[in-house]
Amino acid sequence: MKLPSAAVAASLVCLIIAPVFAQTAPTTAPAAPTSTVPVPATKRVTCLATTQSLKGQDKRDQMQLCMAQARVDCLKQAIDQKVVGEPRKTFIKTCVGGDATEQQ
């Protein structure tokens, strides 16, 4: 029985470490201000992780609140970077980690 639990533990370690390696920035030419890419671990993933221990209506409520806050944070980031128009919509969807209309 130790083998399956060891495999699960190893998988969890890989899930924790993988985003760290994915966040390393290449040393090539810097990107233009409007083409910045948010951190690979999306805010949706963070919200899912924080509501994992909850159930039922509490889980739905907390997930909805977390996603609303994530959208506000991404909008603030887009405003700071002066992203406007259609690129702003795309930036926010990418930053949040999914379709921005998926609130229900």
Fill in the DSSP letter of residue 97: T
pLDDT at 11 over 60: no
Judge whether 103 lies within some domain.
no
Judge whether 99 lies within some domain.
no
Q: What is the pLDDT of residues 13-58, one digit of tens each?
A: 444 555 544 444 444 544 545 555 544 578 999 999 999 999 999 9
Judge whether 24 lies within some domain.
no
Q: Which domain holds residue 90?
A: 41-94
Q: What is the pLDDT of residues 84-94, one digit of tens each?
A: 999 999 999 99
Judge whether 59 lies within some domain.
yes
- Report the domain count for the chain: 1
Instruction: Tell me how far apart the alpha carbons of residues 91 and 82 are, in angstroms, rounded to a whole number.
Output: 11
Judge whether 72 lies within some domain.
yes
Mean pLDDT of 73-86: 96
Mean pLDDT of 67-76: 96
Judge whether 104 lies within some domain.
no
pLDDT at 79 over 70: yes
Q: Which of 102, 90, 97 is nearest to 34 (CA)?
A: 90
Judge whether 50 lies within some domain.
yes
